[in-house]
Amino acid sequence: MTRTVVASATKEIIIGFDQPFCVIGERINPTGRKKLAAEMVEGNFETVKADALAQVAAGATMLDVNAGVTAVNPNETEPPLLVKTIEIVQGLTDVPLSIDSSVTAAIQAGLEVAKGRPLVNSVTGEEEKLEAILPLIKKYDVPVVAISNDETGISEDPDVRFAVAKKIVERAADYGIPAHDIVVDPLVMPIGAMGTAGQQVFRLLRRLREELKVNTTCGLSNISFGLPHRHGINAGFIPMVIGAGMTSAIMNPCRPQEMEAVRAANVLNGTDPNCQNWIMTYRDHQPAAAGAAPASGEAAAPSGGRRRGGRAARRGAV
C-alpha cells in the first residue's frame, strides 16, 4: 500500500489510500489577497498567524505555506520571506508543512529551515523544473507534488496529463526517489468551463492509483471556479474524488460544509474507525435554524488563488 510520510518536528502524518483524507490548508498564500501580501512585505505576520491557527482548529492535517508576494525579483525577495513565514508557522503549530513556491531558491531556503519532513509543492514535467527540483527532493529526502503539465502547458486531454505524471515518476526514479514520495496533482479543470472535468479527474485518479500507485492531491476549489454557490459544488466533489482514489487536497478547511464532506467521506470510506472522529466532532452539533445567519466561522472570505503562470488555474478566488 502506497504511503507518503510527512512530518513536523513532533508529528507524523501518512498520506495513503487506507488513511483519512489529508486536508492541506491553503490560506497562507498571498496570491489574490492584496492585504495579506502587503502585510507580509511590511513584516506583519498577524494574518499569517491567525490563518495558521484557524486552519488547524478547523481540522487541517497540514498547512501549505506560500510567500509569493510579488513577481518582481522573486529569486531575491521570496526566499527570505518564505523562510520567515515557515519559521513563524512551525513555531505556532505542530502540523507538517507544504513548502509552496515556483522559485527553486525559495524551496531550497525553505527546506533548510523546515523541521521534520515537509512536502514540497511543487515540480512539473518541464525539463528545467525536473533538473532543478528533483535533486533537492533527493538531497533532503522529502516528498514532492508533481503537477501534470509541461512545456506545452496544461492539456485538456486527460491521457496527456497522465503521461506527464508518468514521466515525472520515472524521472524521479532516475534520482532514486520512490513513487511513494510523489504526490501527483492531475490538475482539476473548472466544471463551468469544461463539462467533462469531473469525469476526467475521476478517470485520471483511478489510473494514477492503479497504474502508477501514487498518492494524489489537487487545488480543490478549482472545480467550482466561475460558478455561484461554489462551496456546494466543492462539498459534492470531495466524496467523489475520494471515492475515485484522491488522498489529499489543498483546500480551505475553514469552510464547515466542505470539512463535513471530508469527514463523512472518511466514515463511508472506512478511514474513520468506529466513526470516532465524526462522533467527537459532531456529537454536540446543533443544526442551524432555517434562514439563520451563518456562524462566524462560516462567513464567506476570499480564498487565495494559485500562483502566477499556468498554475493560476488550480485554485480560484472564492
- Count other C-beta atoms under 10 Å from residue 178's C-beta: 12
Mean pLDDT of the chain: 92
Residue 290 predicted with pLDDT over 70: no
Residues forming beta bridges with residue 108, ordered by sequence position? none
Residue 14 predicted with pLDDT over 70: yes
pLDDT of residue 16: 98
Segment 254-259 mean pLDDT = 97
Residue 293 predicted with pLDDT over 60: no
| Poorest-pLDDT segment among 5-19, 60-74, 178-192 | 60-74
Residue 108 predicted with pLDDT over 90: yes
- Count other C-beta atoms under 10 Å from residue 81's C-beta: 22
Q: What percent of the chain has pLDDT over 90?
A: 86
Q: Would you say residue 28 lies in a domain?
A: yes
Segment 274-303 mean pLDDT = 68
Give the domain extent around 83: 3-283+293-314
Going by pLDDT thresholds of 50, 70 and 90, the confidence category of residue 306 is: very low
Residue 262 predicted with pLDDT over 90: yes
Q: What is the CATH number of the domain that holds 307?
A: 3.20.20.20
Segment 202-231 mean pLDDT = 98
Q: Would you say residue 212 lies in a domain?
A: yes
CB 182 within 8 A of CB 146: yes
Q: Would you say residue 288 lies in a domain?
A: no
Q: Which residue has the higher pLDDT, 75 or 111?
A: 111
Segment 138-150 mean pLDDT = 98
Number of domains in the chain: 1
Give, in order, the Cα–Cα distances in Å from 75 to each of 70, 89, 102, 202: 10, 22, 10, 37
Segment 125-131 mean pLDDT = 98
Segment 284-289 mean pLDDT = 74
pLDDT of residue 73: 87
pLDDT of residue 71: 74
The rounded distance, in Å, linking the Cα atoms of 215 and 185 is 9
Q: For 24-53, write each residue's pLDDT tens digit.
A: 999 999 998 999 999 999 999 999 999 999
Q: Would you say residue 63 lies in a domain?
A: yes
Sign of CA dihedral 278, 119, 221, 192: negative
Q: CA-based Rg of the chain, rounded to a whole angstrom? A: 18
Strands 144-147 and 3-7 come out as: unpaired
How buried is 170 (Cβ within 10 angstroms: 0-12 exposed, 13-18 middle, 19+ buried)? exposed
- pTM for this one? 0.90
Residue 296 predicted with pLDDT over 50: no
Segment 198-206 mean pLDDT = 97
pLDDT of residue 207: 98
Q: Which of 309, 313, 316 is nearest to 126 (CA)?
A: 309
CB 208 within 8 A of CB 184: yes
Q: For 171-189, write each residue's pLDDT tens digit.
A: 999 999 999 999 999 999 9
Q: Would you say residue 273 lies in a domain?
A: yes
Residue 317 predicted with pLDDT over 70: no
Give, in order, the Cα–Cα distances in Å from 174 to each of 11, 107, 157, 171, 212: 30, 21, 26, 5, 15
pLDDT of residue 103: 96
| Poorest-pLDDT segment among 3-17, 252-266, 279-293, 298-312 | 298-312
Residue 164 predicted with pLDDT over 50: yes
pLDDT of residue 300: 41
Q: What percent of the chain has pLDDT over 70?
A: 90
pLDDT of residue 289: 59
pLDDT of residue 41: 94
Segment 13-22 mean pLDDT = 98
pLDDT of residue 1: 79
